[in-house]
């Protein structure tokens, strides 16, 4: 009898899901890193694979839809708490809200991959990246209009 009775096909499947979650979160982390935000290249992929891994475990261990829902609720609340740490308030200024929202969205990417809803993960990744990247000039333009 082998010491470790491992299901290698299942390991390969889970590894591929974690890799997909990691890859879809990487552009978001790269954006935050290049924008010199507190969370960046390491944080975002880790949030995605952490969320994905917890839900993969839950799918195998928890038996009911209610238990799965509670686990997802707990994860998204916890990720919101992590994102809250990215928000900084100084005097009348607040910064980091986009990073906090992106952390939360990245958790959604991991969850979608765990449930094999790759279309949701891809769309959330693209929309988050495009929002963070393409709307910077619009935000600067809008801020100048408010400052007048």
Q: What is the pLDDT of residues 30-82, one digit of tens each?
A: 998 887 767 788 999 999 999 999 999 998 888 888 988 999 889 988 988 88
Q: What is d(CA 104, CA 18) in angstroms, rounded to the nearest whole number?
A: 17
Q: What is d(CA 35, CA 84) in angstroms, rounded to the nearest whole number?
A: 18
Judged by average pLDDT, the poorest of 1-5, 10-14, 132-136 is 1-5
Question: What does the pLDDT read at residue 135?
Answer: 85
- Which percentage of the chain shows pLDDT scores above 90? 52
Question: What does the pLDDT read at residue 1?
Answer: 58
Three-state DSSP class for residue 89: strand
State the CB neighbour count (10 A cutoff) for residue 71. 18
Mean pLDDT, the chain, rounded, equals 89
Question: What does the pLDDT read at residue 146?
Answer: 61
Question: What does the pLDDT read at residue 138?
Answer: 84
Q: What is d(CA 133, CA 66) in angstroms, rounded to the nearest whole number?
A: 37
State the CB neighbour count (10 A cutoff) for residue 146. 6
pTM for this model (two decimals)? 0.86
Three-state DSSP class for residue 1: coil
User: What residue spans of the chain are helical by DSSP H?
Assistant: 8-34, 43-61, 65-84, 97-114, 118-134, 136-147
More confident position, 147 or 26: 26
């Amino acid at each position: 009898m082998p010491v470790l009775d491992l299901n290698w096909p299942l390991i390969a499947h889970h590894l591929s899901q974690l890799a997909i979650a990691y890859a879809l979160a990487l552009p978001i982390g790269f954006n935050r890193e290049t924008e010199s935000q507190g969370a960046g290249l390491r944080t975002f992929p880790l949030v995605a694979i952490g969320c994905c891994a917890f839900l993969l475990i839950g799918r195998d261990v928890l038996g009911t839809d209610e238990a799965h829902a509670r686990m997802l609720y707990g994860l998204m609340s916890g990720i919101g708490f992590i994102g809250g740490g990215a928000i900084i308030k100084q005097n009348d200024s607040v910064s980091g809200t986009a990073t906090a929202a992106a952390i939360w969205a990245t958790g959604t990417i991991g969850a979608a991959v765990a449930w094999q809803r790759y279309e949701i993960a891809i769309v959330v990744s693209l929309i988050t990246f495009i929002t963070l990247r393409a709307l910077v000039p619009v935000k600067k333009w809008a801020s100048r209009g408010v400052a007048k």
